[in-house]
Structure formats: structure tokens, C-alpha cells
Amino acid sequence: MDVSRLRRGEQIAGISGIALLLIMFIFDWFTVEAAGGLGPSFGGNAWDTMEIIRFILLLAALSGIALAVVSATQSKVSMPVALSAITAGLGILSVVLIVFRIISPPDGGVGDLIDVGRAIGVFLGLIAAAGVAYGGYLAMQEEGTSFSDQGDRLQHRDNQPPPPAAPPPPAAGPPRA
């Protein structure tokens, strides 16, 4: 593995993926205490507090790391869509989901019985997820591809040209007498 082969986008995505993975498990993302502050406060990391979102964050982190590893080892991966596009997409989705959880923290369905606060981990996770998204997008730009190119590639994944257009109707000539 030769890390000197990594382009800037791949470096950013890989480092941000590692950071997101660590932040998910080490830092508290949310704190919970009884309503009115009548009890002790407890914290939870992303894995403990996010139900479905944790799997998307994990995929985003792993795709950022995979983008860097695949590029550093110069491995050829046959995929219907570029890994950089997958990384950028998962990073963008992660940012949106984290912002959603910052606005509406998970309360476990108990609503007014507890107060949920935001801890430093959720903000660090947002920065790391944004890094994965930016690194994936920058890698796409460095490859000379775009989301629309990848969508076209996915639609015609067998590299067959699109079906020909229907022939135009015959031109109407002068009326025959």
C-alpha cells in the first residue's frame, strides 16, 4: 500500500472516515436526564443512541476508508458506480441525518419525561461526515466524473448503448392529384 498515490479527495475521505468511526464509538453524542434535572445525567454514543442512522454512518465511514485503501493499493474494483460517488452520497446522507438528529434528538419514545441534550460527539460527527462527503465529491471531481455520469452508467451498466430512438414519421409531401 502506497499512500503517496492518494489524491487529495481520497486522503480527506479516508481520514474523515477513520475520524467518524472513532467519534461514533468514543464520544457521547447525546445526554439524557430526567425532566427538570431531578436525576443523574447519562450520555450515549452514536451507536447507542441512533437506531437506523448508525448503520448509515458506519457505511459512510467504511466507504471513506475503502476509497483511500482501494486507491492506495491500486486495486481494481468492478462496481456499477464509482466508489467515490458512493462515498460522496453516503457522506451527504450522513450529514443530513446528523443535522436531523441535532434538530430533533432521539428521545426513545418517552417524550416529556426526559431532557435530551446534545454532546460534543454529535458536532464532531457532523464535521467528520461532512469530510467524508467532501472527500468523496473531490475524488469524483479528480476522476472527472459526476453524479449524472454515474446515474447514466448505472442505467446502462452493461455498457450497451441506449436503444435507438424511434424513426421519425415520414415527411408529408405535396398532396397527390
Residue 157 has pLDDT above 60, yes or no: no
For 27-53, write each residue's pLDDT tens digit. 999 888 876 666 666 888 888 888 899
Query: Structure pTM?
Result: 0.78
- pLDDT for position 19: 97
CA distance 141 to 137: 6
Residue 160 has pLDDT above 70, yes or no: no
- Ramachandran area for residue 119 (φ above 0: left; ψ -120 to 50: alpha; else beta): beta
**Highest-pLDDT range among 68-72, 82-86, 123-127, 152-156:** 123-127
Ordered DSSP codes for 80-122: SS-HHHHHHHHHHHHHHHHHHHHHS---TT-GGGEEEEE-HHH
CA distance 129 to 22: 12
Q: How confident is the model at residue 115 (pLDDT cuts 50, 70, 90)?
A: confident
